[in-house]
Amino acid sequence: LNACALITKKGSDIKHPDVNAFGNWLQRIQWPQDKSRAESVLVVKCLSFLNLEKADLSFAALRGVDLRGANLSGAKLSGANLSESDFRRANLCEASLRGTDFRGANLSGVNLNVVNREGANFDGANVTDTILEKPSYDND
């Protein structure tokens, strides 16, 4: 899916049985369990253009993940480590980013409007053309 999406720039709409399914799947395939680091790294480099609307990835360890063009609207990313990740042109509208680590991430062209980002760390992140309007601090 990812190879096609990188060429067509069109998202992949995968039906998840519930909001926790994608996060649970990622946890199962990540090292240090029985998968090698190389396999884990490959998986997180192939997530661009996915539809992860309303997915619950709270406290996920996803450093260096490639989510270019992904739809993460309404997603729960609170407390997640997304440092050094690529979010170019991703949709994060209405996502919960409370305490999320975006250090060194590429957020170029991302709309962070109407997003709870209290305590999120954007140190060293590329926020060129990023829309950082009035933050929302509603409960998650």
Position with higher pLDDT, 130 vs 41:
130
Buried b (16+ CB within 10 A) or exposed e, 90-117: bbbbbbbbbbbbbbbbbbbbbbbebbbb
| Assigned superfamily of 1-140 | E3 ubiquitin-protein ligase SopA (2.160.20.80)
* Domain boundaries of the chain, sorted by first residue: 1-140
pTM: 0.75
Q: Determine the Cα–Cα distance for residues 102 and 72; give it in Å rounded to an integer.
A: 15
Per 3-state DSSP, what percentage of the chain is helix, strand, and coil (rounded to 5)? 15, 15, 70
Whole-number percent of the chain with pLDDT over 90:
45
Of 28 and 102, the one with more pLDDT: 102
- State residue 40's pLDDT score: 56
In this prediction, residue 84 carries a pLDDT of: 94
- Which tokens sit at 129? 């053309």
Nearest Cα residue to 131 out of 105, 96, 93: 93
For the segment 37-66, the average pLDDT, to the nearest whole number, is: 80
What distances in angstroms separate CA 127 from CA 13, 20, 80, 88, 130, one per listed residue? Answer: 27, 28, 18, 10, 5
Across the range 45-73, mean pLDDT stands at 89
Q: What is the CA radius of gyration of the chain?
A: 14
Instruction: Return the pLDDT at 38.
Output: 43
pLDDT band at 121 (very low <50, low <70, confident <90, very high): very high
In this structure, what token pair is assigned to residue 66?
Answer: 């490639």
Question: What is the average per-residue pLDDT within 23-42?
Answer: 56
pLDDT: which is higher, 53 or 36: 53
pLDDT for residue 15: 72
Give residue 111's pLDDT: 83
Please state, rounded to an integer, the average pLDDT across all residues of the chain. 79
